[in-house]
Amino acid sequence: MMLHFTKMHGLGNDFMVVDLVTQRARLDSERIRALADRRFGIGFDQLLLVEPPLRPDMDFRYRIFNADGSEVENCGNGARCFARFVLDQKLTAKREIAVQTAGGNLLLKVVDDGRVRVDMGAPRFAPADIPLTADAPAHDYALDVDGETVHLDALSMGNPHAVIDVDSVDHAPVATLGPRIEAHPRFPRRVNVGFMEIVSRQSVRLRVFERGVGETLACGTGACAAVVSGIRRGLLDQHVDVTLPGGTLSIEWAGPEHPVIMTGPAERVFDGRIVI
């Protein structure tokens, strides 16, 4: 069968977006891995599926699959692309769009300058919610990584995140330490690993090793997690610009029980068709 898709990106974090409202397809993990291949397939960090909602108060169901074929709970850069996609494809005329994900519900708003503002929901800190094997919530978890003690913060933005403070992201051990923490047994569902350099109280630099993908040019939920971690430890103000390799996101958090608000761009690259 012929499958229509759109290639999009949010600050270089790139996606294959598929409308499963007006067309039908079965995409198993083997097929997703083949499509994600950057030499023999389309190439992407994540596959985003637009599906009919399971609840009457939601506009769409939003599903996310990593390049390795694993389904994950949330993707912030993908959420912005999702909002632009459903508007561009005329699947909705709304500029405020309610979507359900495996990690919770999101509210997406396309603003006048074309950027997308996403209510990412409130962060969760209980170890069972991350999930992380630990006796109680903490700001500083000591992790034994092959005999080396690594200190990190951990929280959930609908998906699991570890945040490590570094003096310079340029020299951070993203490629070596990232995969070892991602697969650490204390994170039973693996974890996204952010390396954060604090520039000022309103600005940070960040690199993220994403679960099931590797380092990406940008990670929206990772940016949210890093800012939340910095704010709750008293290191950052309420509104922070996060500079990632692919560009800058604006993150706001008013504190516990409040949602994290992320604002940033979403770009269409091309439309295509593929036989599956």
- Residue 173 pLDDT exceeds 90: yes
Please tell me the predicted confidence (pLDDT) of residue 113.
85
Asked if residue 144 and residue 66 are part of one domain, the reply reads no
Q: 216 a known binding residue?
A: no
- Is the residue at 214 inside a domain? yes
- Is the residue at 243 inside a domain? yes
Q: How many domains does the chain have?
A: 2
Q: 238 a known binding residue?
A: no
Q: Please tell me which residue in 36, 143, 219, 223 is annotated as part of the active site.
A: 219
Boundaries of domain holding 80: 2-117+266-275
**CA distances (Å), origin 111, targets 38, 48, 115, 242, 253:** 32, 21, 6, 19, 19
Asked if residue 82 and residue 152 are part of one domain, the reply reads no
Catalytic status, residue 75: yes
Q: 24-48: per-residue pLDDT in tens?
A: 999 999 999 999 999 999 999 999 9
First to last CA, the chain: 6
Q: 105 a known binding residue?
A: no
- Residue 114 pLDDT exceeds 90: no
- Is the residue at 111 inside a domain? yes
- Is the residue at 122 inside a domain? no
- Is the residue at 29 inside a domain? yes
Q: Please tell me which residue in 11, 49, 75, 97 is annotated as part of the active site.
A: 75
pLDDT band, very low/low/confident/very high, at 20 (cuts 50, 70, 90): very high
Q: 182 a known binding residue?
A: no
Q: 159 a known binding residue?
A: yes
For the chain, helix, strand, coil in percent to 5 are 20, 40, 40
Give the global pTM: 0.92
Asked if residue 248 and residue 209 are part of one domain, the reply reads yes
Q: How far apart are alpha carbons 59 and 245 in whole angstroms? A: 32
Tell me, what CATH number does 91's domain have? Answer: 3.10.310.10
- Residue 237 pLDDT exceeds 90: yes
Please tell me the predicted confidence (pLDDT) of residue 112.
82
Asked if residue 79 and residue 18 are part of one domain, the reply reads yes
